[in-house]
Every structure is written in C-alpha cells, then in structure tokens.
Amino acid sequence: MSDRSATPVLEELDTEECLRLISPGGIGRVGFNTAAGPTVLPVNYTMDGRAVLFRTAFGGPMDEDLSTGVRGVELKIAFEVDQIDTAVREGWSVLIQGAAHRVSEEELATLSSSAAEPWAGGERRLYIRVHPVQLTGRRIRHDQTAAR
C-alpha cells in the first residue's frame, strides 16, 4: 500500500507501455463531437493489433455522428482507458487519438472471434476500429525514496 506522505510522481508513458497497459481490453471511453456538443461514452473494447476495436448499435449516436457521408473520410475521435486506485491515489491513463473507421463486412471476416462483447443489451453490430495517430499516457505513483 502506498504511503500518502510519499512524493507523488507523474510520469509520461512511452508508446509500448501504453499498448501493454491497454492490451487486455476492457472498458474505455470514446469521445467525439455531436451536433449537441462533445460527447463521451463508455464502451467495451478489445485490441486488434495496435488498433482499438469496439462495437456499437446502428442508428445510435456513434453511427450518426461518426459518419461523414464521404467515402474514405473518417472523423478523428479520442479513446481513453484508465485504471485508478483512489485508496492509494495512484493510477494510469492512456489517450488514443485517431480516425473512427467503420469495419466493413469483408473486414469482419478477418477479425478474430475475440471482438469485444458489449455489456449493454441489444444489437451491437457496428464495429468501429481506431488506429492510433497519437498515443499518449501518464502514470501517477508515489516515490517512497523521496519521502525519506
């Protein structure tokens, strides 16, 4: 357990550490602009190589607001994953910025069966892949040696 009297240290994470932290998949938050303003929604995700893959519903907010209507033009979104331990005041966060690519039926055939299963009920047949254009991460921890 961390000693709260220890000095907090904020460290920048390199790309490989960011990928290692998010590689198990789980819950992330997708941030994007809508007609009503910025929106952030939680989603179940998995990794497809270095890309994030998640599922959503056709006709939902992401289906409508992530569609440009122009073939090959994709909107840039933010995708964030974190793990926070409030008891010891430590944790990490990873931010991915990239284009939201709708996975085609042809591409679906090549995906592994490990595609994220959404927790929410209902049809979630729209797959979105985010290839990182920018990948950043930070970790806050407590340095025990600096407190002495």
Q: What is the CATH number of the domain that holds 62?
A: 2.30.110.10
Residue 112 has pLDDT above 60, yes or no: no
For the chain, what percent of residues have pLDDT higher than 70? 78
Report how far residue 59's alpha carbon sits from residue 11's, in angstroms, rounded to the nearest whole number: 40
When comparing pLDDT for 26 and 70, which is higher? 26
In the predicted model, what is the mean pLDDT of residues 127-143?
92
Number of folded domains that form the chain: 1
Report how far residue 67's alpha carbon sits from residue 64's, in angstroms, rounded to the nearest whole number: 6
Tell whether 148 is covered by a domain: no
Residue 147 has pLDDT above 60, yes or no: no
Residue 67 has pLDDT above 60, yes or no: yes
Determine the length of the chain. Answer: 148
Report how far residue 48's alpha carbon sits from residue 107's, in angstroms, rounded to the nearest whole number: 12
Give the pTM: 0.82
Tell whether 20 is covered by a domain: yes
Tell whether 136 is covered by a domain: yes
Structure confidence at residue 148 (pLDDT)? 44
Residue 95 has pLDDT above 60, yes or no: yes
